[in-house]
Amino acid sequence: MRAAYEIHLPGGRVLKTTPVFDTYWRFASERQEIFMRRVLGRTPPWTEDPILSGHRFTNTYRASDRVSQYLIRHVIYEGSQKPEEVFFRTILFKLFNRIGTWESLSTTLGALGWRDYSFDTYAKVLDGMLDKGERVYSAAYIMPSPTFGSPRKHRNHLRLIEHMMADGAPRKLAKSGSLRGAFDLLRGYPSLGDFLAFQFAIDINYSELTDFSEMEFVVAGPGARDGISKCFTDMAGLSEAEIIQVMAERAGEEFGRLGMKFLSLWGRSLQLIDCQNVFCEVSKYARVAHPEIAGESGRTRIKQKYTPRPVPIPQWYPPKWGVQPQSPNISMHRTVLRAASTAERSIASGAFAGGKPDGITSSDSAPSAPPARSTDHRATSASGTAPAAPCARPGTRRSRSSPGPR
């Protein structure tokens, strides 16, 4: 076990870390490299790390995950860009957080929008899904049911959308002034606790409705809090949100200290929301890599296994970010393979193993329109973009879609 590593902060505060702290940075780097290898067309295996290759983990960057990518491309930026329509589509999608539910609604009803919304029509489609034994909600985290009088949760969530629209939520969000202001506004609606309100604020911020920095504000979910507890023996009185801020600000220094060249998202550095997510994922990773270090959850194994599926994962990000993913080509492919091969030959032994490809560059130009819709939305994960199971969630256990509260 490595010697204790201390971080000296301004004001005399000293953070004391565990070995999981170093694993945090190695995990973030290798998970991003797995993602880049897939984007650039490399065939599996995408990593030599046995934990990452055998279990499901979300991407280092939240916006690269499969559900976030679908939200950005096919929900937010397809259809009318009027504020009320963008807000309606985003909240409708995120309350269920399941691509299959969105596509069942859109296949049956056509283009989804507030202008033509009907409670009875939407509820009937969701009723039919449940009657056929189909899931309506994602299992990624528990979605509490608001109390709008129905025994069926999905109907209460439709009423919640109606309530938010009647309250002028799109207009209020546009005038909220900050990411914290958007969070506070959403937090005031029934059943939206701290975690969901923050996640929804981030999702809406992918659109043109708001334009706040992701470095401005963060809320640590339960999974992230567990990861933080595994990384530090002494937080020097800082809150979890302040710890996440420290991580984002020190990222370059810590990658350098460990001799790693982090592949950013085509020039976009890790944001607070991404560092929050990595804490959540490293909490799971440490159950196997560092079983001697217990966190708050008490969990000792990673439930979700992973099987690689070498299918394309086209990426598209909010145009305002100026992120332009590069398409695979022979030159870039060779660069990645050559760098990965060199690094894998020299990698040190230990719990963490994986190549270090480079040659990824950034671009200031942004795509002008979402790419064509992909028809393969099966879950990928450790080397794809699927949401791994529930690391950041408001409840304490996973649940399936059901008529009643979850």
pLDDT attached to residue 372: 57
pLDDT tens-digit map of 26-45: 999 999 999 999 998 888 89
- C-alpha atoms less than 13 angstroms from C-alpha of 205 in its C-beta half-sphere: 26
Q: How high is the pLDDT of residue 107?
A: 98
Report pLDDT digits (tens) over 340-377: 444 444 434 444 443 333 333 333 333 355 655 544 44
CA distances from 285 to 224, 248, 268, 299 (A): 12, 20, 25, 11
Domain ranges of the chain: 6-59+222-346, 78-205
Residues of the chain with pLDDT under 50: 329-367, 374-390, 392-406
Position 370 scores a pLDDT of 66
Q: What is the pLDDT, as a whole number, of residue 373? A: 59
